[in-house]
A and B are shown apart, each in its own frame.
Chain A
Amino acid sequence: DAGVIQSPRHEVTEMGQEVTLRCKPISGHDYLFWYRQTMMRGLELLIYFNNNVPIDDSGMPEDRFSAKMPNASFSTLKIQPSEPRDSAVYFCASSFGTGIIGYTFGSGTRLTVV
């Protein structure tokens, strides 16, 4: 299995632009998570899905952020409009079942908003 695949690896965009981050989870995994890593807050959970349905989006910072999972093999995290404070590394992770053995993370997308 190729693991969790995220694209792009790096994204540089201007303030006010729309940014879309993409994730392909491991086949057969029924949970998908979006995390954001910053120096100050570490890994913050933004939203997670179970069987393509959003379960908990309490970590989404504000209405500028949205996430979708149209099918079991694809998810997007969109920021519109982007702001410099959104600059961070965004990770997608997937798991099967309860996650007792942890999640499998993708390599992340480093977002820079200038």
Chain B
Amino acid sequence: DTAVSQTPKYLVTQMGNDKSIKCEQNLGHDTMYWYKQDSKKFLKIMFSYNNKELIINETVPNRFSPKSPDKAHLNLHINSLELGDSAVYFCASSQASGGTDTQYFGPGTRLTVL
């Protein structure tokens, strides 16, 4: 039973395209996150949702738009993809949003923009 799942695992696309990454968690958690891991392995928060409500929005271009249809899902849509968007994107979830709970991560989506 996969706790946090992401699709697709790999995504290769051309510059200028629009793409989406889906994330689902079956842990019953209230909070979900998107992190970006760059080519040097640095992990940085992008967004956080608590019970479908956006609570963290770091300095991310407007081309990135998260959507949470329910608290078990947090999707990431990216418009007008650029070369610099190439990275591994991780979804995570935790029981609460206050920084006390462990975040569990999905397997990651490797996005390559050509």
A and B form one complex:
no
Chain B interface residues toward A at CB < 8 A: none
Chain A interface residues toward B at CB < 8 A: none
